[in-house]
Structure 1
């Protein structure tokens, strides 16, 4: 019988494999079989299968029938697809936030928006990424759509790790800071469609910047 998803063996293996992928130890395009992973980590096949299914849900691996799993190659098409999905989800969540956000939730978003702007002004990419995630976490909490939030987060780890490695194009952080202000202003003004449009524009600008970084050969 397969072990349930909540078992410690599954969780530990999932986290180790995620760290290997995001840290570069499991290189893009590299294939590993279930048997090889089980032997390498000293576990049975069941937690390997469950760990890979979870990582497939995050977009970190592609499972091949009877062959194990491969880490996707980091190319423009992969990130274009991921950002198209992120844009649709961010638009939905911003629309809901404009309809539902409480004063306390608006205040929390404002704190993280200001933190991002400060990091952007200093050119601190790591701090900007942390503040960006906190801003979007606060927005998602105010939207109160757990299913959309779960899907968004499942597709964020890979993008965030690559962004941290590649950094930002010239003026991208300042552009993103302005976009955060526009999203927050629309939410605070209770303008759902304006908030949705601003969030989508934010995601598409991020897509263009990251793809440009990839095509510059800096991956």
Structure 2
């Protein structure tokens, strides 16, 4: 994640705010944990004054809830939080998509096509963490095409707590995530053709997929089983189950080495579909016959 750079004379509370926020995302401070001023002052070696100011800033970002003379509590993520967040996200992203379609991408379309290629590549390799990070980068690029910085800032501030929630749990590869490259392609096609109706529909389906995925994570206990963020077994998804079964067990004496992709030029997906082939906008897998001819993976010759 790109973090703001402040001049050397920036107020301490701004730098402390970013550090506490990063530590919440990284799991140093758990969701729902009570934080006292004295505890934070000792941890970061600062006085109570910048700690209080930093917590007030984080309360404005929707990450903590201040308590009178009792410090603050890191907000927890539940089903209501997820629904409210994605309702706001759908409204803002639909507005940004409409503006992006009117501007026809504003010259950033080629960069977004490269990002879409990374989303598709991570999905095919079953790398959940990389898939979500690539999709986040793609959605951020699409949002910036809408040229509304206040809306982007609101999305960024509200997404950090959900990111901390996701990082604290196992990486699940579900059918919901398999729709991300499809809807990403639909968004870029809509922007290229100046079709806000199709673009907003793709946004709606993308948000619905992410909402469903986050609600599935509510049933998963905190903790990760692998340092390389490889996918875990999902009984309802056959391909994930087969990929997990094919992975060799890690030795008790040697740590498992994460998979490293071979270097090469970034993948750029064409904004077109093969003749006679349509997207699966319903997201129900009706066009998914597990072949490579799905509009994203050209058939091998």
Q: TM-score range by the shorter chain?
A: 0.7 to 0.9
- TM-aligned CA deviation for residue 149 of structure 1: 0.6
Structural mapping, 1:1-219, within 5 Å? 7-102=10-105, 104-164=107-167, 165-217=169-221
Whole-Å Cα distance in 2 between the matches of residues 42 and 129 of structure 1?
Answer: 35
4+ runs deviating over 6 angstroms: none
Whole-Å Cα distance in 1 between the matches of residues 127 and 166 of structure 2?
Answer: 13
**CA deviations over 1:112-147 (Å, ceiling 9, x no partner):** 112101111111122212211221221122110011
Normalising by structure 2, we get a TM-score of 0.65
SS in 2 for 1:62: strand
Aligned 8 A contact 2:64 2:72 in 1? yes
Aligned 8 A contact 2:128 2:171 in 1? yes
**CA deviations over 1:162-190 (Å, ceiling 9, x no partner):** 33434344223221111111111111111
Aligned 8 A contact 1:100 1:142 in 2? yes
Whole-Å Cα distance in 1 between the matches of residues 23 and 106 of structure 2?
Answer: 41
Aligned 8 A contact 2:35 2:74 in 1? no
Normalising by structure 1, we get a TM-score of 0.87
Instruction: Name which structure has the greater RCO, CA cutoff 8 Å, separation 6+.
Output: 1
* Alignment gaps of 5+ in structure 1: 1-5
Whole-Å Cα distance in 1 between the matches of residues 162 and 52 of structure 2?
Answer: 23
Whole-Å Cα distance in 2 between the matches of residues 102 and 39 of structure 1?
Answer: 48
The alpha-carbon distance between structure 1 residues 57 and 123, as it changes in their structure 2 partners (threshold 3 A), is farther
- TM-aligned CA deviation for residue 206 of structure 1: 0.5
- TM-aligned CA deviation for residue 47 of structure 1: 1.6
Bigger Rg, structure 1 or 2: 2
Whole-Å Cα distance in 2 between the matches of residues 203 and 143 of structure 1?
Answer: 17
SS in 1 for 2:108: helix
CA RMSD of aligned residues (A): 2.2
Whole-Å Cα distance in 2 between the matches of residues 11 and 129 of structure 1?
Answer: 28
- TM-aligned CA deviation for residue 31 of structure 1: 1.4
Moved more, 17-26 or 119-128: 17-26
Whole-Å Cα distance in 2 between the matches of residues 57 and 204 of structure 1?
Answer: 26
- Kindly indicate which of the two structures has a greater share of residues assigned to helix: 1
Whole-Å Cα distance in 2 between the matches of residues 15 and 103 of structure 1?
Answer: 31
Whole-Å Cα distance in 1 between the matches of residues 200 and 141 of structure 2?
Answer: 16
Moved more, 185-194 or 39-48: 39-48
Aligned 8 A contact 1:169 1:209 in 2? no
Whole-Å Cα distance in 1 between the matches of residues 43 and 220 of structure 2?
Answer: 35
SS in 2 for 1:215: coil
The alpha-carbon distance between structure 1 residues 50 and 111, as it changes in their structure 2 partners (threshold 3 A), is same
Moved more, 97-106 or 79-88: 97-106
Aligned 8 A contact 1:76 1:211 in 2? yes
Whole-Å Cα distance in 2 between the matches of residues 200 and 66 of structure 1?
Answer: 42
